[in-house]
Structure 1
Amino acid sequence: MVSAFLDMDRRQTIAAAAVDASAELFPERGLGRLWEPVRDQCFQAGSDYLAATERFGNDHVLHQDPNGARLAFQNSVRQLVDAAQGVDAFYNAHRGHLEKATSTMSTIPVLAQQAKTVAQSARNALAATEQRYREYPSVVAASEELETAIAALDSARSRGRAESVRSDAERVREAASALEDAVKQAPDTQRRTEMTVSSVSTRLSAVRTRVDRLDPAYSALLREFNAASSADLVDNSSRSRTHIDQADIDLREAKQSLAAGNPEHALALMAEARSHLADAEACVDAVTNRLSTLREVRADPAKKEREVRFRLKDAQMFAVNQGLVAQWGSVLDAQIARLERASASLTGTHPDYWSYVVQLDSVEAFIGETVEKMRARP
């Protein structure tokens, strides 16, 4: 009976440890719930074993009722063997996962120690770099993140939370790697910033030249075409110059930051300057492209309509070839009326060519979307 108890207890202990590892590392598997009836059977068998031992552990009682003792011991052995077999059945049914959980759990202390070693290496690299580089915002932020990650790892280890230790150890490793990268890149930041400032200065001059062409182009729009064709562009000149002025301010502040030994702030300012320059260029392109488009349409108004009608005919043929006329034929046919309305809108001494273009573009986009829907049919 004692041998059966020790065997059951050993098996139950191994399985329980594996289940605990699974519950902590892979709670979504729900093995803790499946283990409960097996565990309860072990507890009951152990309880009955202790009761039999306590009742017949005295030699006097044992000799008084040897048959009762034999029956109690036999029942206890049977219960212990059944419980052990239940443990084996459960463990064998989930062996792969339980062994993985146990193996993973055993590596977690090693992961934590390795993370601390990597963190110390990053700290040493930081201490060895020049003071001016240690004051760069990217280096400061990376160092602070590493210290926060180390504190979280220490807390998880003190609480004995394996999954937290594993995730926090990975966070420490990532933070240490980020700090080392920041330290390595710091010496090159000054040179990169100087090149960026020079590049933005050149681009600012070029965009200023482009902006100077905006007002003449807008004036041509007003002279040559219906006022409605450029109503949405009336503020482009002032907006482009506002962006230019802000880019110039960013550039001057960046030069000051660079001279003060803060190239990272200068880089951030250069990113903002580039964004403003892109917006200024977009304002210019909107006007010059509009003028070019309207002149092209005015020279041959029917050209764009012919192109859209060709796309419509092509879409109709596709519907016929794919047997989709019943579903999409009327939808495509309705675009003919839209094309005719757009063409009929070109009236008067100064037709609104832009409205004409917008209507045709809308029809063309609708045709494209319809073709895509037909292609994507089940």
Structure 2
Amino acid sequence: MTATPGTPATPPYPPPSPGRTRRGRRAVRDTLALLGLPVLAAPLLAAAFAGGGTRRWFGGRAENQRAEAQAAKDAAAAAFYELDTAQRDLRISVETVAAADDSPAARRAVADFAALGHRVDEASRRYIEAVDAHDLDRDALEAGRATRARTELTAARDELLRVRRELEEFGRSLGPLLDKAETRLARLAPAVERARQSLLAASDALDAVRARNLRADDLAARLAALAPELTRLNQGAGRHGVDATLERAERVQRAAGAIRAEAERLPERAAEIDHRLVSLRTRAQALTTRAGQVEPVLSELRRRFTAACWQDLQQVPALAAENVRQAELRLAEARAARDAQRWADATALLSTVRALLNATDEAVSAAGDRLARLNAVQKDPQEEIERTRFAIRDAQRLAMAGRTTPDPRHARPLDDAVARLDRAIGTLAEHHPDYWRFLGETEAVRQSVARVVTLIREDRGAGH
């Protein structure tokens, strides 16, 4: 349609009627209600639908500053994440050192890490405050605010990086302590496992012993006493410390190993006790017979020699009889202890029996030996004399070897030995010679000569 000159042009679409406009606004409100948006937004939304809303964009310098601030924010966020990661990794190392090492150096490292933690918290707080202070996504962000945001975020990033470098330096200094701690922790699990296996082996050994009708009550009690130690091992080093746990594991392993060894040896021990019971009883019976032969020996000594030769043997028969009686009583007690499987008591009683029989054997043998020696020296004292003189001459030759004159420290006791032997020989000329005293004197001379020989050899060994 062409407009007539002088008349206004007819619009292509008639303007909306008031009723139509109202219906449109009502539709907008209904739409907003369905979307859960406030009704106040209706004019803006209606205007947008009507094409009347336009966004205001800032270009040029403001947008460049916004981009730089956003880049500073991203860099600070990366630094914050890296610092947090470094702190968490280092905390694991410090906790490892603290768990495995209680030395002053380790305690100092823990304190230094705590101080660094305060530095990390302060740098993190500054970063978070800078992020919260600036909304870089806001439309109307002025260039000045963007510049301040970039400056504060860059400063926060720099502080985060400085603290991270401090953490890295601390981590390098922690290296030797960490290596030591990791080495000790590496020993911990195997040590605890060895202790557990030793306890299990001891328990199995006791079960095997019981299967052979051997109770081993004392070993079972010792094994039961280790139960609290096993509980502490299971609680771990975190509660009791690495050093204490390692020491406990080694102690439990040793104790359990000893129990296992004794349990495995128990059948052999029982058989050994049975054998000793029979052997010692036989020996006691033999000594009873031998003790009965002492009185005839003493009778001959009294008849043929002076009192000094036999007076110290007068108590031998009574002593032998009492020792044998005590030995038989202890043997009966040892048998009862063995039947009750009180192995330690049985072993101790058998040791007592053996000591009694040894003393009896020596006393009984002494009487016979005394008579034999006295008979020999009475028949031919020259053999004893020559034996002693030979010892003296041998020592004299050693004293003169490589010397023109003997050392007085060596010569004097040898001269005394010669004089003492001569005096002992002189007693044989008496009407009733004391042969036992004569034998004692020659024995004493030989002992004094032996001491001189030892002194000579020591002096020459020292270069004198």
Shorter-normalised TM-score: what interval?
0.7 to 0.9
Structure with bigger gyration radius: 2
Distance 2:185 2:310 in 1: 72
Match of 1:111 among 166, 178, 194: 194
C-alpha contact 2:196 2:230 (8 A) present in aligned 1: no
C-alpha deviation, 1:246, in angstroms? 2.5
Structure 2 distance, partners of 1:227, 1:152, is 68
Which residue in the other structure is 1:288 paired with? 368
Equivalent of residue 323 in structure 2, options 230, 236, 243: 243
SS in 1 for 2:225: helix
Task: Return the letter of the residue paired with 2:169.
Answer: D
Q: For residues 117 and 233 of structure 1, do their structure 2 counterparts lie closer, same or farther at Cα, with a shift above 3 Å needed?
A: same
Aligned position for 1:361: 443
Alignment of 1:180-329 (within 5 A): 180-182=264-266, 184-185=267-268, 189=271, 193=274, 196-251=276-331, 271-321=351-401, 326=407, 328-329=409-410
Shift of 1:281: 1.5
With over 3 angstroms needed to count, the CA separation of the structure-2 counterparts of 1:252 and 1:58, relative to structure 1, is closer
Equivalent-residue separation in structure 1 for 2:365 and 2:434 (angstroms): 20
* Structure with the higher helix share, 1 or 2: 1
Is the Cα–Cα contact under 8 Å of residues 8 and 80 in structure 1 kept in the other structure?
A: yes
CA distance in 1, matches of 2:324, 2:210: 42
- The aligned residue for residue 77 of structure 1 is 164
CA-CA distance at 1:17 after TM superposition: 2.9
* Whole-angstrom CA distance in 2 between matches of 1:224 and 1:43: 99
Q: Deviations over 1:146-200 (max 9, x none)?
A: 2223344335544644121331233124324423443x458x64x972x555444
Identity of aligned residues (%): 21
Deviation per residue, 1:86-141 (Å, 9 max, x gap): 112555xxx5x6554222112233234323432442454355444xx33xxxx222
CA distance in 1, matches of 2:292, 2:279: 20
Alignment-derived partner of residue 144 in structure 1: 221
CA contact (8 A) 2:284 2:357 kept: yes
Q: For residues 80-99 of structure 1, what are the structure 2 equivalents within 5 Å? A: 80-91=167-178, 95=179, 98=181
Would the alpha carbon gap of residues 212 and 57 (structure 1) be closer, same or farther in structure 2, given more than 3 Å must change? Answer: same
Structure 1, residues 15-47: CA drift from partner, whole Å, max 9, x if none? 763674466xxxxxxxx2343444444343333
Distance 2:424 2:317 in 1: 30
Contact kept? 2:290, 2:364, Cα under 8 Å: yes
Q: Which has the higher contact order (CA 8 A, sep 6+)?
A: 1
Map of 2:106 onto structure 1: 35
Shift of the alpha carbon at 1:262? 6.5
Q: CA deviation at 1:344?
A: 4.2
Structure 1 residues 204 and 54: CA distance shift in structure 2, 3 A: same
Looking at structure 2, the residues matched to 73 and 252 of structure 1 have their Cα atoms a distance apart, in angstroms, of 87
Q: How many equivalent pairs are there?
A: 355
Q: What do residues 305-338 of structure 1 show as CA deviations (whole Å, max 9, x unaligned)? A: 3323322332343344477954842454343344
Structure-2 change in CA distance of 1:335 and 1:51 (3 Å): farther
Q: Does 1:51 align with 2:122?
A: yes
Give the partner amino acid of 1:311. Answer: A
Q: 1:166 to 1:15 in 2, by over 3 A?
A: farther
Query: For structure 1, which runs of at least 5 residues remain unmatched after alignment?
Result: 24-31
Give, in whole Å, the separation in 1 of the partners of 2:284 and 2:165. 90
Offset of 1:289 from its aligned partner? 0.9
